[in-house]
């Protein structure tokens, strides 16, 4: 496992000009069209060191993109963590006090005995998110890996992913032991609701190619939703679709019980282990083995290692399909 910092290939935008908004919620902008349609949200900076989404949302706001139909919300979430970014300690800006993407249950949000910078920001954004029909949450990864879609557990997430058409790998999982993600919050995680959400892992945090992925999926999501037309967006944002998509269903998470965890190789993600029983690492000196043949290793990383953290997930390839055109 690579423990050295990756090079920072992108410029972190100054987003201070976006603090004031018509919603009264700092760094969260909503625009109406006056025409019926979905409320679509593009969210960046769920984690403060994941800059590709911030670059895209900044560009959309500077371009003054407005919806043709429905409503469009463009948001920067954990701005407090983003402000703390230090290139000498780039992983430290993921959050300030707790992971913003682990607080999204109504019980946690309603529990006023709990507070943190991240939890208060989630409470601030929550009234708007409660009205969103389609959410795209832009993320990036600790390790340099192929981009992927995190679609949640429900069929509706997979269906939306395949309609989007990229990235090529769709991951179905229930999230993290530490708490619920925004993409699973409320009706996004309700099979009876038409509301839907996707989380896109665009690539390694600071690689230039992650920005290209973030632009492409954002452009495709906005046009797929109908909130804008393709010609409203920079045409260079659209890149060719993959020839095929595959769906990988996570069957279990590999969770660290202590800081005594190490991987058996320099894994970055989406490695396939052909044989059941393959050793992928050791936890407290005990081998961690793959439970079945053709097991896919999803998003392995020790950069946030501490007890209770998911350090990897294990998945089965469920299907491959031609990408949408």
Domain that holds residue 267: 248-318
Considering the entire predicted model, what is its pTM?
0.91
User: Per the domain annotation, does 260 fall within a domain?
Assistant: yes
Token pair, residue 50, equals 């994941």
- Statement to judge: residues 47 and 142 lie in one domain: yes
| Whether 308 and 209 share a structural domain | no
pLDDT tens, position by position, 194-236: 999 999 999 999 999 999 999 999 999 999 999 999 999 999 9
Domain boundary among 182, 210, 244: 244
Q: Can you list the positions of beta strands (E) in 87-181?
A: 134-141, 148-150, 169-172
Among 227, 244, 261, identify where a domain stops: 244
Domain count for the chain, please give it.
Answer: 2
Angle at 5 between CA 280 and CA 46, to 5 degrees: 85
- Residue 314 pLDDT more than 90? yes
Q: Are residues 185 and 108 in the same domain?
A: yes
pLDDT for 325 = 39
> Does pLDDT of 320 surpass 70?
no
Query: Is the same domain home to 212 and 83?
Result: yes
Which of 187, 215, 244 is the C-terminal boundary of a domain? 244
* 252 inside domain: yes
- pLDDT (mean) for 28-54: 98
pLDDT digits (tens, 9 = 90+) for 69-125: 999 999 999 999 999 999 888 889 999 999 999 999 999 999 999 999 999 999 999
Please, which pLDDT band fits residue 301 given cuts at 50, 70 and 90? confident
Is 211 in the same domain as 227? yes
Instruction: Output the domain CATH number for residue 309.
Output: 2.40.50
Do 75 and 109 share a domain, yes or no? yes
pLDDT-based confidence at residue 36 (cuts at 50, 70, 90): very high
DSSP 99-118: -GGG--SHHHHH-TT---HH
In a domain, 26, yes or no: yes
* Summary mean pLDDT of the chain: 94
């Amino acid at each position: 496992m690579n423990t050295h910092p990756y090079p920072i290939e992108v410029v972190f935008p100054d987003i201070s000009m976006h603090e004031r908004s018509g919603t009264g919620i700092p760094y969260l902008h909503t625009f109406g069209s006056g025409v019926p349609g979905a409320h679509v949200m593009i969210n960046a900076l769920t984690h403060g060191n994941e800059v590709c989404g911030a670059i895209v949302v900044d560009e959309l706001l500077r371009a003054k993109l407005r919806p043709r139909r429905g409503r469009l919300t463009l948001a920067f979430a954990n701005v407090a963590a983003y402000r703390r970014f230090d290139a000498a300690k780039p992983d430290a800006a993921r959050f300030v006090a707790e992971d913003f993407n682990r607080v999204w249950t109504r019980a946690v949000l309603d529990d006023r005995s709990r507070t943190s910078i991240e939890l208060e920001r989630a409470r601030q954004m929550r009234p708007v998110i409660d009205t969103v029909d389609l959410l795209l949450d832009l993320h990036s990864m600790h390790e340099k890996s192929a981009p992927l879609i995190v679609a949640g557990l429900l069929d509706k997430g997979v269906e939306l992913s395949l309609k989007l058409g990229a990235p090529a790998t769709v991951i179905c999982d229930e999230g993290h032991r530490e708490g619920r993600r925004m993409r699973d919050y409320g009706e996004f995680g309700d099979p009876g609701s038409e509301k839907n959400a996707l989380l896109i892992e665009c690539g390694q945090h600071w690689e230039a190619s992650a920005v290209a992925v973030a632009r492409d999926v954002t452009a495709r999501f906005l046009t797929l939703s109908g909130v804008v037309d393709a010609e409203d967006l920079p045409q260079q944002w659209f890149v060719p679709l993959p020839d095929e998509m595959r769906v990988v269903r996570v069957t279990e998470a590999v969770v660290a019980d202590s800081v005594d965890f190490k991987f058996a190789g320099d894994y970055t993600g989406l490695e396939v282990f052909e044989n059941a029983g393959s050793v992928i690492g050791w936890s407290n000196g005990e081998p961690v083995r793959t439970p079945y043949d053709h097991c896919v290793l999803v998003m392995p990383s020790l950069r946030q290692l501490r007890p209770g953290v998911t350090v990897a997930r294990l998945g089965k390839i469920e299907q491959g399909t031609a990408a949408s055109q």
